[in-house]
Amino acid sequence: QIGAAKPVTQAIIPAASFSAASFPASHTTPPALFPIVDADGILKPALLVLVEQAVDVDIGLIVIIVSPEHRADFEALFKRSPSVREMQRMPPRLQQYAMKIKEL
């Protein structure tokens, strides 16, 4: 069919910015990782909300563009699990959410 909409299957999220307006907070933490309260009442990095929304609509490939000096911060969010001690201090709801992040 001519003009038929194709489903969106990939997303690119630019997260390599420095925000002078948010200085000094943006000096140590990328603005994409600033915390916000999501609709589920959980305080999350803003980027995580975007990634969850993309996953919820079946985006198969999500590429996040980050600056080299903050790459470790982003990797910690998605690749590093909380320690056993940290998990023990969390309520069950957040323990479950920590496991969900690893699945993204």
What is 27-76 written as a DSSP string? Answer: HHS-GGG-EEE-TTS-EEEHHHHHHHHHHHTT--EEEEE--GGGHHHHHH
Is residue 42 domain-resident? Answer: yes
Per-residue confidence (pLDDT) for residue 4, from 0 to 100 = 67
Is residue 7 domain-resident? Answer: no
Phi, psi of 78 (to 5 degrees): -95, -20
pLDDT category of residue 2 using cuts at 50, 70 and 90: low
Q: Give me the mean pLDDT over the 73-98 stretch.
A: 95
Per-residue confidence (pLDDT) for residue 18, from 0 to 100 = 83
Q: Give me the mean pLDDT over the 3-24 stretch.
A: 88
Q: Give me the mean pLDDT over the 38-47 stretch.
A: 96
Q: Which residue range forms the structural domain that includes residue 80?
A: 16-103
For the chain, how many structural domains are there in total? 1
- Paired strand residues for 36: 44
pTM of the shown model = 0.86
pLDDT(62) > 90 = yes
Is residue 4 domain-resident? Answer: no
Is residue 1 domain-resident? Answer: no
Q: Hey, what amino acid is at 42?
A: I
Is residue 76 domain-resident? Answer: yes
